[in-house]
Amino acid sequence: MAAVTRIAAVALLLLATACDSAPPAPRKSGTGELRTDLDPLVKRFPALAGATKAVWMSGTLGDDRVPGPSTYWIDAIVTLPQTTITDGDVQGTETPAVVEGLRGHLPAGPYRTGKSLDAMFSSQGWQTTAYLVENTVVLVATGQ
């Protein structure tokens, strides 16, 4: 009977640990350079054409030692004219998950996000999650 209990305990432990672990999110790597030039952002995200100011970082996702095509990321905090932003389905209070070097530049929340806002800033193969900061015209976009 002790052997059956031991086997059941091991099976339960294996099942619990197998269900508990999710694959880790790909690691963002880059040069660590904090950029302020607008042209590369506007080229990739035409909806940012009226931007007045930006701080951003970029790089690749995953391990550079793995062969194959790279997936690129850009985290940007962009100041836009008030008329650029439409509220649409903007909702929620999720804080953007930007790279550490950009976190100190995030404006105070709360942040709003929504599918129409994401669609407004997604283009040319870039999937973007966009965040609107309450009471300001600063947009935080994380894309890959």
Three-state SS string over the chain comes to: CHHHHHHHHHHHHHHHHHHHCCCCCCCEEECCCCECCCHHHHHHCHHHCCCCEEEEEEEEECCCCCCCCCCEEEEEEEECCHHHCCCCCCECCCCCCCCHHHHCCCCCCCEEECHHHHHHHCECCECEEEEEECCCCEEEEEEC
The predicted pLDDT at position 115 comes to 86
Q: Could you tell me the pTM of the whole model? A: 0.74
Q: How confident is the model at residue 14, as a pLDDT?
A: 42
- List the pLDDT tens digit at each of the 144 positions of the chain: 555 444 444 444 444 444 445 566 677 877 889 999 999 999 999 989 989 999 999 988 877 777 777 788 899 999 988 766 766 677 777 788 899 999 999 998 888 888 888 888 888 888 888 888 865 657 777 665
Residue 23 confidence (pLDDT): 60
Q: State the pLDDT at residue 4.
A: 44
The domain segmentation of the chain, as residue ranges, is 25-143
